[in-house]
Amino acid sequence: MNRLHPRVTIAWRLGGVLAALVLTALVGAFEAVALNPEGAVLLTPGLLTGLIAASTLSLAIVWPTLRYRYWRWQIEPDRVLIQKGVVWRSRSLIPRVRVQHVDTRSSPLQRWLGLSSLIIYTAGTRGADAEIPGLAAEDAERLRDELARLEELDERT
């Protein structure tokens, strides 16, 4: 099975660090209001904010490596296989005959890293059924075109 591009861990880490900073700022603001000098002091000022900052930043650094380790995908002649999950693992088998259309998508951060996501839409669903993130942009476009070409061949037969 195929792995994602290793640079996807950079994108995941940056997103995690940003989320950690926002959460830390919110907890810091709460702590400043809840533990004001006139009120009851339940904790040492800054302790909760420090714990949140340390734990969320650690998680933002470590989790992407684990996530990358368990992400796999494979496009076979009759199906698309996606396997992922660190704690809760999932394995999706998408029959190729159910694939309606395929798109690529990339955020500004993904474009800066030369990455893109492959989005697979299937029959009978309202939104995207599957996404393969963190592919090299040219690989995502090649796979999109390959899946679209396979669907055109199916429609002709």
Q: What is the CATH number of the domain that holds 106?
A: 2.30.29.30
Nearest-angstrom CA–CA distance, 5 and 11: 11
Nearest-angstrom CA–CA distance, 4 and 85: 13
What is the predicted pLDDT for the residue at 128?
63
Which backbone phi and psi does 88 adopt, to 5 degrees? -100, 115
Look at residue 1 and tell me if it is in a domain.
Answer: no
SS3 105: strand
Q: Are residues 141 and 112 in the same domain?
A: yes
Nearest-angstrom CA–CA distance, 152 and 140: 18
What is the predicted pLDDT for the residue at 56?
95
Distance spanning both ends of the chain, measured CA to CA: 29
pLDDT single digits (tens) 135-151: 999 999 999 998 888 66
Look at residue 3 and tell me if it is in a domain.
Answer: no
Q: Are residues 99 and 45 in the same domain?
A: no
Q: Are residues 114 and 61 in the same domain?
A: no
Nearest-angstrom CA–CA distance, 77 and 149: 12
Contact between residue 114 and residue 101 where contact means Cβ atoms under 8 Å apart:
no
Look at residue 40 and tell me if it is in a domain.
Answer: yes
What is the predicted pLDDT for the residue at 16?
95
User: How many domains does the chain fold into?
Assistant: 2
Nearest-angstrom CA–CA distance, 118 and 12: 16
What domain range includes position 77?
72-156
Q: Are residues 138 and 105 in the same domain?
A: yes
pTM score: 0.82
| pLDDT lower than 50: segments of the chain | none
